[in-house]
Chains A and B, each alone.
Chain A
Amino acid sequence: MVHGVDAEQRGPEFGWTDEHRALRATVRGILAERAPVARARELAEAGERHDPALWSSLARDVGLQGLALPERHGGSGGTLLDLAIAVEEMGRVLYGGPFLSTVGLAAPVLLLGDDERAAATYLPEIADGVLTAALAVDTWVEDRVAVTADGAGALTGTVPVVLDGADADLLVVAACGPDGVAPYLVEPGAAGVERTPLETLDLTRRAARIQLAVTPASPLGAPGRGWEVLAAARAAASVLLAAEQVGGMTAATELTAEYARTRRQFGRSIGSFQGVKHRLADMSVRVELAHSAAYWAAWQPLGSPAQAYGAAIARSYCGDAFLQTGLDTIQLHGGIGFTWEHDAHLYLRRARADRTLLGTPVQARAELVPAATTEGIPA
């Protein structure tokens, strides 16, 4: 299996470095200036997808898209951990650009796929911010993948919900072919591709239905290893999703604590009532535990069984925890939290949509059965 970066570069678990802190501050700074939550709302209400100018500047000025890509592909050779830090910051402000789809989901398939030609074609463009990509997988259960690839490599089938699928410049589609399930590269303009933008629960992210009818496609990587590559990419994406959820939970908890400190009723701030402060304390506990889950997994070697294990733990814990945070955020804001104008519902929408993006928490727990019963925690 591919282990992208050695432990030396990542350092010991939870041992933050000055570089990590500097990266966080840089990303937080640019997002605060150009993509605060108000901007996510503005884009959502305008029905726009994202802010292409910001996308270019994230690539050009900060190098975020190429942060964890190898230098030979135009990246800066960082780690998934670096990406997790950046994505956590995006989660705080509900950034809705195609970062998770392009950098979190599609790029790892290209990176782990052992297909040097495809990697050399697309990864530099991703790093430069001139190419966006989407990963289309109709189910994360290997023997139920319904999109098929015929002998000539043409794909047929439907993927009901694809994150950022409507306007990605490149589609990576999981399809069941002669050598089992594998990732295939599809040009969106190819024959038989139909992309239908969907209305989304999460107003800050876009999704589309993708239908393929005998669409020409090229298989990625070595035959027979396709599912392994997809699963490893999904584990990496789960780590990033968890980090993003931590960002969302942190911001929602801070927002709620601020409200509890300043909103006054019965002659005192509502945060002085135990009914309020204890619920907030529980929110704080969930944030801390979710943080540990996301970053423990981020610290494991890319593509390793330990990372897949940590990713399943994080997908279960963070998926449930963010949803509860969303509910509590609205509850503690009272009536104002139920209004369209308040940001609380944006977090709740994101929380629920995230929960099924890469498989549900229940599915994540089912994936932990071997570790819990016979195999133990992967070293």
Chain B
Amino acid sequence: MGKMHITTRINGDDTEFLCDADESLLDVLRDRLGLTGAKEGCGTGDCGACSIVVDGRAVCSCLMLGAEAQDRDINTIEGMAEGEHLHPLQRKFLEHAALQCGICTPGILVTAKNLLERNPDPTETEIRYWLAGNLCRCTGYDKIVRAVQDAAAEMRGA
């Protein structure tokens, strides 16, 4: 079986790639497209380190085949900052020291941004449940939640 030719849209850019039928979208992003922000933690959809947004919904890219990406609209962590200009969530994560080793950070930022697009003023409980599929073994989560709350407040102009 030859490789599959897939055309899709990633971070606003028309993109094409060749992949094997059984290749995950995460492997395509990292190994074929050089988009190494999404990380492989568990590879089974438990940890959220590979989170991306597909057609407006946060998904684990390890649980999706590259071939499924045909004609989808995909957003990854690489599309979050505009040039040197960090997204408010990224800035607040730095200000609050909401990361240590950083492996989980791209997935958490992508998933948190997806939350704030749907709900600009989430409660702490809503933030914790929304991010329940993003594991962090360093921070104890508290600084992450504070950073998301602070970014949400800034984005609301509060």
Q: Do A and B bind each other?
A: no
Q: Show the binding face of A for B, using Cβ within 8 Å.
A: none
